[in-house]
Amino acid sequence: MALLQIAEPGLSAAPHEHRLAVGIDLGTTNSLVATVRNGISTVLNDIEGCALLPSVVRYAPDGSVQVGYAAQAVQSDDPQNTIVSVKRFMGRSLKDVGEVGNLPYRFVDAPSTGSGQAPGMLQLRTVAGAKSPVEVSAEILKVLRERAELSLGGELVGAVITVPAYFDDAQRQATKDAARLAGLNVLRLLNEPTAAAIAYGLDNAAEGVYAVFDLGGGTFDISILRLSKGVFEVLATNGDSALGGDDFDRRIYCWILENGGVSALSAHDTRLLLTNARSAKEQLTEYPQTQITAVLGGGDLVDMTLKREVFYEMTQNLVARTLQATRRALRDAKLKVEDIKGVVMVGGSTRMPQVQHAVGEFFGQAPLNNLDPDKVVALGAAIQANVLAGNRTADDWLLLDVIPLSLGIETMGGLVEKIIPRNSTIPSARAQEFTTYKDGQTAMSIHVVQGERELVSDCRSLAKFELRGIPAMVAGSARIRVTFQVDADGLLSVSAREMASGTEASIVVKPSYGLSDEEITRMLQDSARHARDDMVARALRELQTEAAQLLDAVENALQEDGDALLDEIAQARIRGSMDALRAVLQEEDQQAIKRAVEALNSASTEFAQLRMDKSVKHALAGHKLSELED
């Protein structure tokens, strides 16, 4: 009989307790949350038994916020305050979004924050004020977080949030900000096709090179992965972060306008016809033709028949665009169509017969449809979340993903010099040295862009910053080393320092689209105006949980390697910091806990380094052994 373990209240529980972690698919049309329970990845339903949460947010006149089916039900009645497909606006300026004429929203343009800076993320004017896409997405994530906590009966250690593989830095940063705003600890941003590959690969024990074709509501990704026992390696990825089911709806919508003799639509009519267009599209998956019927605000009647062939023809070039991206991905992976063992279909839009047909013809094989295209991304994300949260599984695997778009800097004449090429395995870094071109120059400007084109103006501007305080020297003698680091989430940070003078003025730059910590705090306060106390309490609890996890991690590390790697004095120093943290852990003083956490982190840095060295040596030792066996 096992002894019951009773942990001191608030302190580290048993080290092997299951940590609650979820995977969230934050989709253009629908969002889902999944978790691993008893070793099986499961999508969590709401109390009515629905798995999908429509990604629709309504700001109601009474100050409340509706999310999901309730918001979707009123989208035609209150189109301006009901935001659908907000994912398309993440990390985007008004200029990026383009054809806003078809959309029933009141956009607020965000001017650029400085000379030469890219314009900021757009906002949407609602009855509750101007809302950024980050805030709208956070409302969706909050509902999913609450659903998970209710269903799992505890607080989450963290979440894996999926993003389209082809999302650039601005879009990724916006997604991460939304999760933070929703009170989620982001364990990782995971690319959607990669998440699908995990779910598919583990289920089917797949080996070989696979293509994941992911056509969602608003985004398209194609990823080429090599699956082998214990390794998921992304070889190349391509796509279009503004191509999805919405575009097929819009083609039908435009067809209605052109052929139905309707014009000058109100926001209500626009939303109504877009909704009708979507159901017509869905009908055509089952039936050869469909009837589109709607009564417009002015009493006009729309009553039209749409045939499958007509729909196929009007969407032909959308399908062609997915195949172009697919060809580019194959070329980057240095592979031919014949090298692909299987094609996994992901995303609701791959249900359309013309998409199935085109993909089958391109690859010369029937695509794999043995998993639910709506759920597979969330299921894969949950599996990865479970591992990242520290719940060991019997079979461990390694996931190697890539950066989808090249990172570069502006050089003379507005040209781009690539620093980190697309499809580099992440995390990745590159250091580049710059020098001054004038005597006595004390500042220089560095412009970081993302994209494949040669001209800066054709790429996305991520950050523009000035290095100041360079010691005055003869032209060409200053040496400024700029380091570009892409982390495992695919997010960029840039740091710089002057080498020649020995001054270590180093800076860390956040891309211009990201939110500063102050902005996040302000949004948190805004959103929690009614529940501020709750929020403070929650922040404290999160901090305490985090601190307890840290204590846990260090304790485990000490037990494993303490005696082997550290002398008594070093161990005592770490133990001292642990005791100090335990002493303040139950206080209500956030600052004191933060300070103690930082102190423990810094006291254990060297130990962590030693453990890492040991771990690397171990890997090499294993490597040698395998060579002997060969």
Please give the residues from 259 up to 318 whose contact with another protein meets the rule CB under 8 A. none
Stretch that binds another protein, among 382-390, 466-474, 521-529, 534-542 (CB under 8 A): 382-390
Q: Which of these ranges, 206-214, 291-299, 520-528, 548-556, lies near another protein under the rule CB under 8 A?
A: 548-556
Which burial class, exposed, middle or buried, applies to 64 when counting CB atoms under 10 A from its CB (0-12, 13-18, 19+)?
A: exposed
Longest dimension (CA), the chain: 85
The reply to whether 617 belongs to the active site is no
Active-site annotation holder among 25, 135, 177, 246: 25
Interacting residue with another protein among 122, 550, 574, 596 (CB under 8 A): 550
91 near 173, Cβ under 8 Å? yes
Out of 67, 140, 187, 463, the only residue in the binding site for another protein (CB under 8 A) is 187
* 118: DSSP letter: P
* Binds another protein (CB under 8 A): choice among 389, 448, 462, 581: 389
Q: Choose among 94, 26, 24: nearest CA to 56.
A: 26
Strand 480-486 versus strand 21-26 pairing type: unpaired
Tokens of 541: 């609890």
Cis amide linkage into residue 421, ω under 30° from 0: no
Q: How far is the CB of 590 from another protein (least distance, A)?
A: 17
Phi, psi values for residue 465, rounded to 5°: -145, 160
The position carrying tokens 């609701």 is 348
With respect to another protein, which residue has the nearer C-beta, 65 or 198? 198
SS3 545: helix
Of the residues 203, 282, 487, 561, which one makes contact with another protein according to CB under 8 A: 487
Measured between its terminal Cα atoms, the distance across the chain in Å is 46
Give me the least distance between CB of 515 and another protein, in Å please.
21
Least CB distance from residue 425 to another protein, whole Å?
5
Query: Of residues 135, 169, 177, 214, which has the active-site annotation?
Result: 214
The reply on whether position 13 binds another protein by CB under 8 A is no
Query: How far, in Å, CA of 71 to CA of 54, rounded?
Result: 8
Q: d(Cα 390, Cα 13) in Å, to the nearest integer?
A: 14
Alpha-carbon span 181 to 209, nearest angstrom: 38
Could you give the strand order of the β-sheet that contains 460-467, starting from the edge strand earlier in sequence?
415-420, 407-411, 444-450, 460-467
Is the Cβ–Cβ distance between 402 and 43 less than 8 Å?
no
Single out the segment in contact with another protein by CB under 8 A; choices: 52-60, 394-402, 461-469, 529-537.
394-402
**Angle CA(460)–CA(488)–CA(44) in degrees, nearest 5?**
100
Q: Are 423 and 403 in contact (CB under 8 A)?
A: yes
Query: With respect to another protein, which residue has the nearer C-beta, 257 or 400?
Result: 400
Residue position matching structure tokens 């950050």: 463
Which residue reads 């959607």 in tokens?
Answer: 192
According to DSSP, residue 347 is labeled S
Secondary structure of 601-617 as H, E, C letters: HHHCHHHHHHHHHHHHH
Catalytic-residue membership of 395 = no
Report the residue from 48, 286, 395, 627 that binds another protein according to the rule CB under 8 A.
627
Q: Which residues contact 315 (CB under 8 A, 6 or more apart)?
A: 248, 251, 354
Is 214 considered catalytic here? yes
Question: Least distance from C-beta 320 to another protein, angstroms?
Answer: 9
Q: Which of 112, 117, 441, 495 binds another protein (CB under 8 A)?
A: 495
**Residue 608 makes contact with another protein by CB under 8 A:** yes
- Helix, strand, or coil (residue 124): strand
Binding segment toward another protein, per CB under 8 A, in 3-11, 25-33, 357-365, 617-625: 617-625
- HSE of 552 in the Cβ direction (CA atoms, 13 Å)? 19
Q: Does 131 interact with another protein (rule: CB under 8 A)? A: no
Minimum Å distance from CB 427 to another protein? 5
Q: Quick one: which of 481, 573, 594, 595 contacts another protein (CB under 8 A)?
A: 481
435 binds another protein (CB under 8 A): no
* From 78, 87, 176, 552, the catalytic residue: 87
* Cβ 552 to another protein shortest distance, Å: 9
619 Cβ contact partners less than 8 Å away, ≥ 6 residues apart: none
Is residue 457 close enough to count as binding another protein by CB under 8 A? no
Minimum Å gap between C-beta 480 and another protein is 12
CB of 423 to another protein, least distance (A): 11
Task: With contacts defined by CB under 8 A, name the span among 40-48, 520-528, 565-573, 622-630 that binds another protein.
Answer: 622-630
Q: Which of 135, 192, 498, 552 is catalytic?
A: 192
Please identify, using beta-carbon distances, which residue of 103 and 403 lies nearer to another protein: 403
Nearest to 79 by CA among 274, 225, 304, 287: 274
Distance CA 112, CA 88 (A): 20
| Subset of residues 18 to 37 that bind another protein, contact rule: CB under 8 A | 19
Q: Which two tokens stand for residue 344?
A: 């996994």
**Of positions 137, 384, 406, 577, contacts another protein by CB under 8 A:** 384
If the CB atoms of residues 146 and 454 are measured against another protein, the closer one turns out to be 454
Closer of 3 and 619 to another protein (Cβ): 619
Q: Establish whether 417 is a catalytic residue.
A: no
Contact with another protein (CB under 8 A) among 5, 64, 291, 324: 324
Work out the burial of residue 159: count CB atoms within 10 Å of its CB; fewer than 13 is exposed, 13-18 middle, 19 or more buried.
buried
Q: Which stretch binds another protein (CB under 8 A): 255-263, 298-306, 356-364, 479-487?
A: 479-487
Asked if 331 interacts with another protein (CB under 8 A), we say yes
Go through 361-381 and write b for each residue having 16 or more CB atoms within 10 A of its CB, e for each that does not.
ebbeeebbeebebbbbbbbbb
**To the nearest whole angstrom, how small is the minimum distance from the Cβ of residue 598 to another protein?**
9
Site residues for another protein, 212-231, by CB under 8 A, read 230-231
CA atoms within a 13 Å half-sphere pointing along the CA-CB vector of 589: 11
Question: Quick check: 387 binds another protein (CB under 8 A)?
Answer: yes
Q: Could you tell me the smallest distance in angstroms from the CB atom of residue 539 to another protein?
A: 18
Q: Is 327 in the site for another protein (CB under 8 A)?
A: yes
Least separation in angstroms between CB 39 and another protein: 18
- Which of 342, 39, 364 lies closest to 196 in space, CA to CA? 342
List, by residue number, the catalytic residues. 25, 87, 192, 214
**Residues in contact with another protein by the rule CB under 8 A:** 19, 157-158, 187-188, 230-231, 324, 327-328, 331, 384, 387-390, 396, 398-400, 424-429, 431, 452, 481, 483, 485, 487-488, 495, 497, 506, 508, 549-550, 553-554, 557, 600-602, 604-605, 608-609, 611-612, 615-616, 618-620, 622-624, 626-627
